[in-house]
Chain A
Amino acid sequence: MPAPNPADVPYGTLDLMVLKTLQTMGRQHGYGVARRIEQMARGVLTLNQGTIYPALLRLEQQGLIKSGWGTSDNNRRAKFYEITRAGEKHLAAESKHWTRMVTLITGLLDS
């Protein structure tokens, strides 16, 4: 069996990661979100930073996050995203669901 390479982001999990990041970090621009996920996932996942933009748009279209233009720490115009109340609710539900799935899979794999 070959040595484990950093995997691609599993389908459907990027949205959850972005949502969680925005919840813990608060209002944040795309670069900040991408860097945070990359730091957390270092060595486990390879992330093309560009892929978070369609994800951000998707979440915004669903009303889970909202966006607006603002100024970053170093005085640069950037688009900032923050989680909405609907997003918080969605994240809570999805987290619970995810934990249940993980418990199930772990249990199955361990048995």
Chain B
Amino acid sequence: MKRLRLLATRVLGAFASRHRDDELDEELRAHLDLLAEAHQRRGLSRADAELAARRDFGGLAQTKESYREQRGLPVLDTLLQDLRYAIRMWRRAPGFSLVVVLVLALGIGATSAIFNIVEALFLRTLPVADPSRLVYLSIESPRGSDDAFSVPDYLAYRDQNHVFAAMFASGGTMPARMIVDGAGTIQVESVNAERVSGKFFSVLGVEPAIGRLLNDEDDRADRPGAVVTISYAFWRRRFGLDPQILGRTLTLNDTPMTIVGVTPPGFFGFEIGSMPDLWYPLQMVPAVAHIDPGRLRDTGWTWLRLLGRLQSGISPSHARAEIDVLFQRSIQDQAGRLEARGALTPRERRAMVERRIELHSGAAGWSRFREPLTAPLVIVMIAVGILLVIACANVANLMLARAASRQKETAVRLALGAGRRRIVRQHLTESLLLAAAGGTAGVAIARWGAQLLLVALPQTQFTFDVSVSMRLLLFTAAVSAVTVVLFGLVPALRSTRVDVASRMKSETAGTTANRSSLVLNRVLVVTQVALSLLLLVGAGLFVRTLQNLEGIDTGFDRDRVITFRIDSGGYAAERRNDLYRRVLARLTTLPGVRTASVSSFGLLSDDGWGQRITIPDYVPRRDENMRVNGQIVGPRFFETIGTPLVSGRDFTDQDAQPRDRRRGVAIVNETMAHRFFDGRDAIGLRFGTPSGDSMEIIGVARDIKYSTLRDAAPPTFYVPVFQAAVAGTTFIVRTAAASAKPAETLRRAVRDVDPAVLVHAVRPLDELVNASVARERFVAQLASVFGLLALVLASTGLYALISYSVTRRRADIAIRMALGAARSRVIRMVLGEDLGLLAAGFAVGLPAAIAASRLVETLLFGVTATDPATIVMASAVMTGVGVAAGYLPARRASREDPLIALRSE
């Protein structure tokens, strides 16, 4: 206690020391006066008395010094002294300080912005009870990781494990049509509904804000009357926090459900990036989605994510082992059943059994955005890291230049007996202060930048919280500290390596004699050039990738085509088909609409229907993959998307009538025609599926990039909508001219047909194509921005170094010119130095760029990692800017009057 108080007073004592010094001075003066008076009273003269007083008192300076030491903490004292000094230096060179802080803020801020997203997506722990004991399950195989399970899987693990205190399943968050009771007119709205098992809330350990949360009783198949729990945000947004909400009914896709409770504020479940409005029991899924309740027993329908809370004392590896035993047993059973039916090739069997269960920590939740965003974030993080290093190298150079201009001052301090460590510490304090200012500004940039990034990120429905967290502040502080080491340490150490005597004697920086001291500056500039080249090459490759993807021949005409979706969730097949027919009929009557069609999977939705086919007279090779891509489309589909048929005809309204499965019609794409009907005219030929369908080929269509732009079109067949069991949801409309408000017109048209369905995702096809390369665009844009920033930093670094070097050699150059050297010769000389630095940068940077771009090869499209054109382009840009940076100081040097230059030396 006493010690604490002592420390506190001493820490306090370190501050406001000027006032305290004044007080001490006054006290000591009073003492000396009293002492002198006493001596005077004993008969000494005034002068002698004062002298005697000083003698009695002892060393005044020593007293003050030891008093000061006692008053504060010496370490803190010198730190404060250093800080005061640093601030004084700032005031003397505000421009320099501002530039340094800005460069650092940019580097630190950009790094922190990326970290902010990484933190929100990967690191932030869930706002639930004891998240560290949560785990989620996945199936690992050599082909990758899969975290979707079927209902029977879930029930088996739930009922047979001895390692989880409890577990739950979630069918994910899906949009649903909702109608709230009590409204006079029907008002349909789209809500995000998560399908969860009964233990969802109890495993996560949340308490309701009001009412109660779902439990096992609610999730029983035989339970009469469905119930639902809504989120706090939804309660506020939709119901204005109405306390009478409990007991009200809302209708999800025609299934009425009673609201029994509200989750606490801030709760969103376990999926990062998704914000469900409500949760309803898994057992209600067949009713809401209008599917056969038997599907819940289907082991092939994998749509659940499984999470469990480990029992205390059970390790994750132990739990994994036990669940894996259950999993292996079930796949052996499955394989056995399939083999008995002869529906399993040896290769498929191998693929089936080489899978195993893995457990992952659920502390930070689960997110479907993690997998697709990992690669872009890693690339951006690396680019940002390189940018930070360039920024630090740049600042280090500035610091070196300044340390050089302060050499005389340092020499004086060393000569007066200042310790080397003391001076290094002084310099480091200055760097620390600059980094702290840069870091503080960086936090602001990080927050703003993260929001900007979220908008640019290739996913649309992010609902991340990217507010400034403690972890982000710590990260930023750590990065700032690293920058101090990167840019401050070497100049600080260098600053004391001064030959005191010669430094103090020489007035100016001198001539060529000590040019060697620029070696470090050169190394730093070369580093910047090399790293900038690396970023420029990377930016070039990503821009080329984007251009290639954007310029690709999709096989369809994307202009003046609008697509939209209809959510008629809950309609039985007959009613739905009827709806689609009427909507299609209505659409074609709209003014300006040329044709309209429908497809089950939207273009570029990266979705499709894998289907094994059988062909009469075709003998598959051993292990040949007979699985092709199936698409379900409406009449006039090819006319609407503008894809020509190579032969045969498009689907008509007659084709789109329900008909006998064995007498269907199909259109195949060129790839499929080539592969299975090699050389023959495919029209009139037939193929089928193992389940007994048989289809006659009525047309061959040009290949199109149906699912993704990157991959070549797989063998694909098209069957008419309404013929197949699954019906289409995406409508496609080709218009004569760009309509001003297509969305409104289309919505009204659909509402005229049926007011209870929802129209959403109204988008021009062109936009859809662009959106499908959003990830590539994101990476290309960021890489370009970073490349540009790096270029700016490196060229200013180059410019500063050449200018400085020219200033130091002013006398040299002046003498040469006085002796008759031509201006062009001076320019050549200075430019030679500039080109030397550039060449060294290229020597390091080009191999590094080629090596690094191999790492991103899988993300490129239509361009190789060592694409010569890109490398030449990046090199040309770097050279152009680098030469310009050197030419300016060169020209200035050549224009100087040698007489004036020499006189000023």
Contacts and interface: CB of A to CB of B under 8 A. Distances in A.
Interface stretch (A16-24, A45-53, A94-102, A103-111): A45-53
Contacts of B60: 50
Interface string A47-65: 0111101100110011100
Given A54-B66, A57-B71, A58-B70, A49 B57 contact: yes
B27 A50 contact: no
Contacts, number: 72
Contact of A53 (B9, B26, B28, B37): B28
A50 B62 contact: yes
Contacts of A57: 67, 70-71
Given A53-B63, A76-B34, A48 B57 contact: yes
B220 to A, nearest CB: 71
A103 B60 CA distance: 38
Contacts of B63: 48, 50-51, 53-54
Contact of A77 (B26, B35, B58): B26
Contacts of B37: 74
Interface string A63-77: 100000000101011
Contacts of B13: 61
A77 B30 CA distance: 8
A78 B35 contact: no
Contact of A61 (B6, B26, B27): B6
Contacts of B360: none
Contacts of B28: 50, 53
A75 B66 CA distance: 29
B10 interface: yes
A53 B34 contact: no
A37 to B, nearest CB: 12
Contacts of B62: 50
A8 to B, nearest CB: 12
A58 B71 CA distance: 8
Contacts of A58: 70
B31 A49 contact: yes
B621 interface: no
Nearest to B62: A50
B2 interface: yes
Interface in B25-42: 26-28, 30-31, 33-35, 37-38
B712 interface: no
Interface residue SS majority, chain B: helix
A84 to B, nearest CB: 13
Nearest to B32: A31
A34 interface: yes
B228 to A, nearest CB: 65
A77 B35 CA distance: 15
A72 B66 contact: no
A72 B795 CA distance: 71
Nearest to B31: A31
A53 to B, nearest CB: 5
Contacts of B26: 77, 79
Given A57-B70, A79-B27, A50 B5 contact: no
Interface residues of B, number: 30
Given A48-B57, A49-B56, A57-B71, A34 B31 contact: yes
B179 to A, nearest CB: 74
A31 B35 contact: yes
A31 B28 CA distance: 9
A27 B13 CA distance: 24
B24 interface: yes
Given A58-B70, A61-B6, A30 B27 contact: yes
A31 B34 CA distance: 7
B346 interface: no
A80 B804 CA distance: 60
Nearest to A79: B27
Which of A34, A51, A53, A76 neighbours the largest number of chain B CB atoms within 10 Å of its CB? Answer: A53
Contacts of A35: 38
A48 B35 CA distance: 13
A83 B63 CA distance: 22
B5 A63 contact: yes
Nearest to A57: B70
A49 B35 contact: yes
B70 A30 contact: no
B95 interface: no
A29 B67 contact: no
Nearest to A78: B30
B71 A31 contact: no
Contacts of A63: 2, 5
A50 B57 contact: yes
Contacts of A34: 31
Nearest to A76: B30
Interface in B1-52: 2, 5-6, 9-10, 13, 23-24, 26-28, 30-31, 33-35, 37-38
Contacts of A77: 26, 30
A30 B25 CA distance: 13
B225 interface: no
Nearest to B7: A61
A62 B3 CA distance: 8
Nearest to A55: B70
A108 B13 CA distance: 44
Contacts of B10: 61
Contacts of B9: 61
A51 B58 contact: yes
Contacts of A74: 37
Contacts of B70: 54, 57-58, 61
B868 interface: no
A76 B27 CA distance: 11
B283 to A, nearest CB: 72
B59 A31 contact: no
A62 B27 contact: no
B30 A29 contact: yes
Nearest to B24: A53
A7 B62 CA distance: 20
A49 B5 CA distance: 27
B59 to A, nearest CB: 7
A72 B62 CA distance: 26
A93 to B, nearest CB: 13
A23 B5 CA distance: 23
Contact of A50 (B23, B58, B71): B58
A31 B58 contact: no
A50 B62 CA distance: 9
B30 to A, nearest CB: 5
A77 B60 CA distance: 20
A62 B37 CA distance: 33
A78 B10 CA distance: 23
Contacts of B5: 61-63
Contacts of A51: 58, 63, 66
A77 B56 CA distance: 21
B66 A30 contact: no
A33 to B, nearest CB: 10
B864 to A, nearest CB: 73
B20 to A, nearest CB: 10
A11 to B, nearest CB: 14
Given A57-B67, A61-B10, A79-B27, A50 B59 contact: yes
Nearest to B10: A61
Given A30-B30, A57-B70, A78-B27, 19 more contacts: A31-B35, A34-B31, A48-B56, A48-B63, A49-B31, A49-B56, A50-B63, A53-B27, A53-B63, A54-B66, A61-B10, A61-B13, A62-B5, A62-B6, A76-B34, A78-B30, A78-B34, A79-B23, A79-B26
23 contacts: A29-B30, A29-B34, A31-B30, A35-B38, A48-B56, A48-B59, A49-B31, A49-B35, A49-B56, A49-B58, A50-B59, A50-B60, A50-B62, A51-B66, A53-B27, A53-B63, A54-B66, A61-B70, A62-B5, A63-B5, A72-B30, A72-B34, A79-B26
Interface of A: 29-31, 34-35, 48-51, 53-54, 57-58, 61-63, 72, 74, 76-79
The 5 closest A-B pairs by CB, nearest first: A48-B58, A50-B63, A50-B58, A31-B34, A31-B31
